Amino acid sequence: MVTGLGSAERAITRDEAHAIMAEAFASLPIDRRRVLAVIPDGTRTAPIPLMFDLLERVVGARAAALDFLVALGTHPPMSDPQLAKLVGRPVSSGRAGHSRIINHCWDDPSALVTAGVIPAAEVAGLTDGLMADPVPVTLNRLLFEYDHLILCGPVFPHEVVGFSGGTKYLVPGVAGPAVIDLTHWIGALLTSSRVIGSGYTPVRAVIDRAAGMVNRPMTCAAMVVEGATLRGLFVGQPREAWEHASALSAQVHIVRVPRPLKRVLSIMPPMYDDLWTAAKGMYKLEPAVADGGEVVIYAPGVTEVSYTHGTLIDEVGYHCRDYFLRQWDRFKHYPGAILAHSTHVKGLGEYDAATREERPRITVTLATGIPKERCERINLGYLDPKTIDLNEWTGREDEGILVVPRAGEMLYRLAKEA
């Protein structure tokens, strides 16, 4: 059963959100239990300060402990000031009041435990034969040190899994490298253009299977947000709460354009501080761009490709999926998440192994603080952000030129695909 409310037309008030949370948790056996809430990091738009407060009131008043684990995936750990901004409370030495706020450490074996292994045959079945390798499911060991888990975060169209949220806060949110790499590479094989905003996907099936290895009761508080507005809040079992939220997200977060776009200026908000995260300005626009078109990722403050994976991305560069598949012996030793990110940013394309010619469907250009020489080295276009005059871009939709002022969360598609 899911307790919730959602509408594309109106906001959910604080009182309504409180009532939903109170009703959903009223009958759950959390008294004197240790509860761990898994929450997103600062690269997701969500009213986490509101949810932190509501969880304190509804859960913290009954539980023996209420702590928070930040689902970083492979993102860098957050500092106390960053955590304070995230939860809306002062944070000192990883504590906010009585609660611990803990960064997930995906690359620290001591922070992880193997929950099980998905056999090769099962991986093949879940992915329709795209992959057939066994995968160990390593997860943050804290999941198994608490009595009840809460997955609390927003749902948006997502390039790897279809729609974010739900059990994605476990995998890849608080997972280890093997299952992170597998799920991302499955998404790359399917291609972002096909997966994003497409509902229940093979990647989601693998994630749900991995999450099923966590032998703890779980409650999901799935939000749908538009800017600063809370449009939906659904609380219940993870699969059902996510289904309600993703259905509303499809109404709220997908923009239909009447004809293919020739050029797009994706203006990235400051919460994306490297290309690894700011690349959502490409993912969310690719389906609406014409063959031969261009997406310009405008983020003058971004000076790094990836704070975590930059060295490997410099080696690999950005390429379409078939560039890797047709030279697999050359690239098979690289982590799947790195190759997947590369293909998502470059987009659809073809690679002729005989002529060694790569033909991307569209051009991706960086108007960031990343130097021209590095852009060329990683196989992306470069545009000096100082040369961009927004007045020259705006008001030209009839010409197929679009400015997206806060790119990264709204998915753009062609109206004829509706």
Q: Which domain holds residue 389?
A: 255-417
Specify the pTM.
0.94
Return the number of other C-beta atoms located less than 10 Å from residue 388's C-beta. Answer: 16
Helix (H, G, I), strand (E, B) or coil at 243: helix
- Where the chain has pLDDT below 50, the residues are none
Count how many domains the chain has. Answer: 2
Show which of 234, 252, 270 is a domain's final residue.
252
CB 196: neighbour CB atoms within 10 A?
A: 27
Q: What is the pLDDT of residues 363-418, one digit of tens each?
A: 999 999 999 999 999 999 999 999 999 999 999 999 999 999 999 999 999 997 65
Same domain flag for 317 and 214: no
Residue 76 near residue 307 (C-beta atoms within 8 A): yes
Q: What is the pLDDT of residue 231?
A: 97
* Residue 331 belongs to domain with CATH number: 3.90.226.30
Is there a single domain that holds both residue 161 and residue 221?
yes
Q: Are the CB atoms for 73 and 105 separated by under 8 Å?
A: no
| 63 plus 207 within the same structural domain | yes
Q: Shortest CA distance to 249 belongs to which of 160, 341, 174, 157?
A: 157
Cα–Cα distance for residue pair 185/389, rounded to 1 Å = 37
Residues 277 and 221 in one domain: no
Distance, in Å, from the CA atom of 119 to the CA atom of 132, rounded to the nearest integer, reads 8
Other beta carbons within 10 Å of 225: 23
Q: Report how far residue 55's alpha carbon sits from residue 89's, in angstroms, rounded to the nearest whole number.
A: 13
Strand partners, 263: 294, 401
Neighbours of 204 (CB within 10 A): 26
Q: Which of 252, 267, 302 is the last residue of a domain?
A: 252
* 192: amino acid identity, one letter: S
10 and 151 belong to one structural domain: yes
Task: Tell me: do 62 and 118 sit in the same domain.
Answer: yes
Helix (H) or strand (E) holding 293: strand 289-299
Query: Among 218, 252, 286, which residue terminates a domain?
Result: 252
Look-up: residue for tokens 């590095």?
374
What CATH number is associated with residue 167? 3.40.50.11440
| Whether 283 and 395 share a structural domain | yes
Check whether residue 68 and residue 126 sit in a common domain: yes
Beta-bridge partner residues of 396: none
Co-location of 13 and 74 in the same domain: yes
Q: Is the same domain home to 131 and 247?
A: yes
Sign of CA dihedral 226, 244, 46, 12: positive
Give the per-residue pLDDT at 417.
66
Residues 94 and 229 occupy one common structural domain: yes
Q: Clarify whether residues 208 and 59 are in a common domain.
A: yes
